[in-house]
Structure 1
Amino acid sequence: MKKILLVCSLLCSILIFGQEKSGAKQFWENLQKQCGKSFEGEVKEGAANDTFRDKKLVMHIRNCDENTIRIPFFVGEDKSRTWVLAYKNDRIQLKHDHRHEDGSEDKATQYGGTTSNSSTSTLQFFPADQQTCDLIPNAAANVWWITLDETSFTYNLRRIGSDRLFTVKFDITKAVPTPSAPWGWKD
């Protein structure tokens, strides 16, 4: 009788409170809480070239809806980069939208990958997808990952089989003024 009551209690709890949210869903909801905010970051690994050296790095969680989050990433005056995250079927997709100053798409754009599992509430991995392999053959071994916790958002890139590693970390405890629209967007 005790076992029956325990099973009934457990089933009632699931029906009343729902099943626990997946790591992907928790990550998504935590990122959406930052929508509209901008944060300054710094390179922690890689980027020894002049593209990032001595430049102000700002991410702006600019546009959020139920299934898409767009995060422009500014490097100094360069407003060409936007990370586009999409949530579907308990997986998150990361794409890199690169634009020219006139708003037209760069020839290397819309590359990225989709998580292979729901991961955790603080960490999502994105191995390169087939579109990326076709567009940028050298990026076939790319793995991107994003970490998100109470104090920071970290974007990372590792090219497996090489020394290529890039990490930029943003302090999400200190919002900065919102920048103007990225290239190809309107305010």
Structure 2
Amino acid sequence: MDKFFILVFTIAFGVFNAQNQTAPSEIFWNNLKKHCGKSYEGKITAGAKEGDGFSGQRLVMQVLSCEPNRIRIPFYVGADQSRTWDLFKNEKSILRLKHDHRHADGSEDKVTQYGGENSNQGMETLQMFPADQQTANRIPYASTNLWWITMDEKTFTYNLRRIGSDRVFSVEFDLTNSIEFNKRPWGWKD
């Protein structure tokens, strides 16, 4: 009987603790928010090809806007100010990634608002975003895309892998060295 009581208590206490613990995605979100207003330089760590538009360019991420359920991170490639990574958080602490692409006049690019949603709360240092149905409908060749972001105290890494192909891309940013950077992405509105 004592073993049964200990087992029930252990299970009940474990469930109670699990319900009161902060979700890994919330920890990830809060750690990212600590960088709001800061900019960081990066480098391509996988997928660089001559003539790809990224190689040889200055790469900067800017954690420009942190709202309760949305974080916007413009990604600058040289003089190109067209890209913003939009992260959203729902009431269940599930994160979604969308790519906002704009022209210099601020209008939306033909290929924009694609991305995916994590199927669970991920990990404190890793969030994965398989392509969603909107992406599959809009960009059929990207229906097997898997994006993921890793973040610890030193680095933030944005990654893309197209399953079933050799398409891979990773860019890593040094979070230990914020830089002065005062640009805004094309079409930015506060």
From 162, 165, 168, the equivalent of 2:165 is 162
| Distance of 1:122 and 1:45 partners within structure 2 | 19
C-alpha separation between the residues in 2 aligned to 1:178 and 1:21? 33
1:58 corresponds to:
60
Deviation at 1:179, TM superposition (A): 2.8
Q: How many residues align?
A: 182
- C-alpha distance in 2 between matches for 1:186 and 1:131: 24
Aligned to 1:143: 146
Q: Is residue 60–residue 179 contact of structure 1 (8 Å, CA) maintained in 2?
A: no
Q: Deviations over 1:32-53 (max 9, x none)?
A: 1111110000000013134001
Q: Which amino acid aligns with 1:159?
A: R
Deviations 1:2-57 (A, max 9, x none): 969x95xx86xx69xx7111111111111111111100000000131340011000
Q: Is 1:23 aligned to 2:27, yes or no? A: no
For the 8 Å contact 1:40–1:58, the answer to whether it is kept is yes
Hey, which bits of structure 1, 4+ residues long, moved more than 4 A? none
Shift of 1:106: 0.2
Q: Is the 8 A contact 1:80 1:100 kept in 2?
A: yes
Question: Alpha-carbon deviation of 1:165?
Answer: 0.3
Contact 1:94 1:113 in 2 (8 A): yes
Q: Where does residue 45 of structure 2 map in the other structure? A: 44
The letter for the 2-side match of 1:22 is A
Change (3 A) 1:117 1:186: closer
Match of 2:93 in 1: 90
Q: Percent identity?
A: 54
SS of equivalent residue, structure 2 residue 108: coil
SS of 1:126 mapped into structure 2:
strand
Counterpart CA distance in 1 for 2:135 and 2:73 is 19
Q: Which deviations, in whole Å up to 9, do the C-alpha atoms of 1:131-160 show, x marking residues without a partner? A: 100111000010000000010000000000
Tell me, in whole angstroms, the C-alpha distance in 1 between the residues paired with 2:131 and 2:189: 30
**Cα offset, 1:186, TM superposition:** 4.6
Alpha-carbon displacement from aligned partner over 1:111-140 (angstroms, at most 9, x marks no partner): 000000111000000000001001110000
CA distance in 2, matches of 1:166, 1:73: 14
Distance (whole Å) between structure 2 residues aligned to residue 50 and residue 167 of structure 1: 13
Structure 2 regions of 5+ residues with no counterpart? Answer: none
TM-score if structure 1 supplies the norm length?
A: 0.90
